[in-house]
Amino acid sequence: MTRILLFLATNAAVLVLISVVFQVLGIEGILAENGVDLNLQALLVMSAVIGFAGSFISLAMSKFAAKRGMRVQVIEQPRNQAEQWLVDTVRRQAEAAGIGMPEVGVFDSPQPNAFATGMRRNDSLVAVSTGLLRHMSQDEVEAVLGHEVAHVANGDMVTMALMQGVVNTFVIFLSRVIGHTVDRVVFKTERGYGPAYYIVSILAQIVLGILASMIVMWFSRRREFRADAGGAQFAGREKMIGALRALQRQSEPEDLPGQFAAFGISGGMGQGIKRLFMSHPPLAERIAALESGRGVNV
């Protein structure tokens, strides 16, 4: 609840800031002088509805999408000792984290990876790949499970959805304002919208979307440090460090598809500008943070 209230307060402050900026820069006056009838408040509401709807519909469908898209096999009745151990470990960690028991599943992938998803802390899914079970020791798998349970306990799925909703809103809002302004002020379109509005709006949305994704990925990288700290708490710091070192030994682990990348254990590797779009910090940085005992408050 505190996280939601903080989000609402921050969002309200951002809206006030935008209104002040528009007034200080005289944008509303420029639009009015050129006969522009753009209703900024209505546009902002529409942008928020579209931006948050897309984000939360995606979140609401995340478990279903994971089970279908990644063919996650949920362990309903453990068939062997390994599956029983997975369920028991997640149950123990969930109890320590104070959350409801997540569903536990396995998906077929040669790459060692895992993820957590779900709309609520008490109704989530934790899944590991077959490659992870093959290439990691039991202690390392325990740490990975702790990392994913920490994502759930920290409410990272909802937090990221809120963050994505905010950036979606402003990408839509600002791209429409830019397109509208160019169409009316530069091309002097008097009624309706000319081709310039649609072309400029699309281009602006692409550019702003790229910039927005950098913000979301930066936030995601911060959450990973916190999830690593959670994994160290639930399984032990040395086990968490060992799991990250095991990932380092693998050759360039592949990212999980789409929305699941931000909640995986490894993420891809990047240099230069590619680093700005990484959902996870480099493994070396995560290991160094755990070894030094540095905490990350997000």
pLDDT tens column, 92-148: 999 999 999 999 999 999 989 999 998 889 999 999 999 999 999 999 999 999 999
Question: Quick one: pLDDT at residue 52?
Answer: 86
Question: Quick one: pLDDT at residue 264?
Answer: 54
Question: Quick one: pLDDT at residue 3?
Answer: 41
* Residue ranges of the chain with per-residue pLDDT less than 70: 1-37, 251-272, 294-298
Number of neighbouring beta carbons within 10 Å of residue 8: 11
Question: Quick one: pLDDT at residue 223?
Answer: 92
Q: What is the per-residue pLDDT across 141-167, written as a single tens digit (0 to 9) for each?
A: 999 999 999 999 999 988 888 888 889
Catalytic residue among 103, 148, 238, 291: 148
Judge whether 83 counts as a catalytic residue: no
Distance (Å, whole) CA 75 – CA 84 = 9
Question: Quick one: pLDDT at residue 7?
Answer: 45
Residues in the chain: 298
Residues near 20 by Cβ (< 8 Å), separated by ≥ 6?
Answer: none
Among 185, 210, 213, which Cα is nearest to 197's?
A: 185
Question: Distance between alpha carbon 117 and the CA centroid of its chain, in Å?
Answer: 10
The pTM (predicted TM-score) of the whole model is 0.80
Question: Quick one: pLDDT at residue 4?
Answer: 43
Question: Quick one: pLDDT at residue 33?
Answer: 59
Question: Quick one: pLDDT at residue 298?
Answer: 39
Question: Quick one: pLDDT at residue 262?
Answer: 46
Q: At what angle do helices 195-235 and 237-249 cross, to 10 degrees?
A: 130
